[in-house]
Amino acid sequence: MLASLDDPLDAVLPPGGALNGRLFCRLLEDEEDAPFPSGTRIGCWRIDSLFGRGGSSTVYLADRADGHFEQQVAIKIVRANPAFTEQFRRERQILARLRHPGIARLIDGGHLDDGRLWFAMEAVFGVRIDHHAHHRALALGERLALFEEVCDVVAYAHEQKLVHRDIKPGNLLVDDAGRPRLLDFGIAVVDGAGEDDAYRAMTPIYASPEQRAGSIVTAASDIYQLGMLLRVIVTPDEGSDSLPETSVANALQSIIRRATAHEPAHRFPSAAALRAEVAAIRRGRAVSGLVLIRRLLDRSPRPPLVAASG
């Protein structure tokens, strides 16, 4: 469920702000209680193992322990810090609203005896979306279809008036069914809500210009991040900077440029509109006057899967 850092900048200013950085996490470890041991009960759940620790929370894998039925979840427990607690409360409220197969479900929640908040959500296991595309050597058409599914998830969130604000490969896992799952709504905001110091968090390399400037963030910011994600997904391999010079590549570059335009008004008006443009390329139709070469969409070889960590 937790993913590795996308780049060194994440270690400096990850989602949740500078207090989530690696150095601060090490300092916190001296003041935080040791992780709960296996077998600890939290509500109706029994902790199985530690899954990951961050600057603001700790995540465990846990199993249902009340005998009603078998179920595994990821339990997230906030650290004892007022700013983290409020952010955590907002994330829990947001997840409670969302019902989409591409978003991990909120299952349970409460607080510990010491007052710290926790929630249990569907445990998601998978591979980062960029690793999935590269290690499986997916054909371009398959990569675009995967991206379209991500657009569907983001469009759903926007229908709920939510802006995710942290769309990046590390927050998108492809599960065993081949479905992308969008994680971490910890810094999501209501569309059009003003920024404040408490929630001015971002992953710099994927953040939109208005997000970096501390301006009002709207759904257009997620469109920008989707454009950045598309660039990563369609790159043929991890050692290449761009697609080969073809009409398909030119069309994709045009879409990426529009999605990542500096001015929000110049981007696609919605995730659905961005999805439609990408789908047109995948289906081999002409886009903006370009004649697309259908055979390029299925030219990639299919070597055996290389194991990749989530």
The residue assigned the tokens 């009340």 is 66
- Residue 118: enclosing H or E segment and its boundaries? strand 117-122
Q: Structure tokens of 9?
A: 């900048």
From the options 3.30.200.20, 3.30.360.10, 3.40.50.720, 3.20.20.70, give the CATH code of 8-122: 3.30.200.20
Strand, coil or helix: 272: helix
Percent of the chain with pLDDT over 90: 41
Per mean pLDDT, which range of 8-22, 96-110, 256-270, 282-296 is the poorest?
Answer: 8-22
- CATH 1.10.510.10 domain residues, the chain: 127-298
Mean pLDDT, rounded, for 85-93: 80
What pLDDT does 244 receive? 56
Cα separation of 203 and 211, whole Å?
10
Q: What share of the chain is helix, strand, coil (3-state, %, to 5)?
A: 40, 15, 45
240 band by pLDDT with thresholds 50, 70 and 90: low
DSSP 287: B
Mean pLDDT, rounded, for 57-82: 86
Mean pLDDT, rounded, for 133-157: 94
Cα separation of 119 and 92, whole Å?
7
Class of domain 127-298: mainly alpha
- CATH 3.30.200.20 domain residues, the chain: 8-122
- Interval 45-64: pLDDT, tens: 999 999 887 767 889 999 99
Write down the H helix ranges in the chain: 8-12, 22-29, 82-97, 129-135, 140-159, 209-213, 219-234, 247-259, 271-282
What pLDDT does 199 receive? 52
Strand, coil or helix: 107: strand
What pLDDT does 245 receive? 59
* Cβ–Cβ under 8 Å, residues 16 and 187: yes
What pLDDT does 46 receive? 94
Q: Structure tokens of 10?
A: 């994440």
DSSP 121: E
Per the prediction, the chain carries an average pLDDT of 78
Mean pLDDT, rounded, for 252-260: 94
Strand, coil or helix: 191: coil
10 band by pLDDT with thresholds 50, 70 and 90: very low
Q: Structure tokens of 39?
A: 């077998």
Is the pLDDT confidence value at 23 over 90?
Answer: no
- Interval 38-50: pLDDT, tens: 999 999 999 999 9
Task: Give 30's contacts (C-beta < 8 A, 6+ positions apart).
Answer: none
The residue assigned the tokens 């983290």 is 84
Catalytic sites, residue numbers: 166
What pLDDT does 185 receive? 82
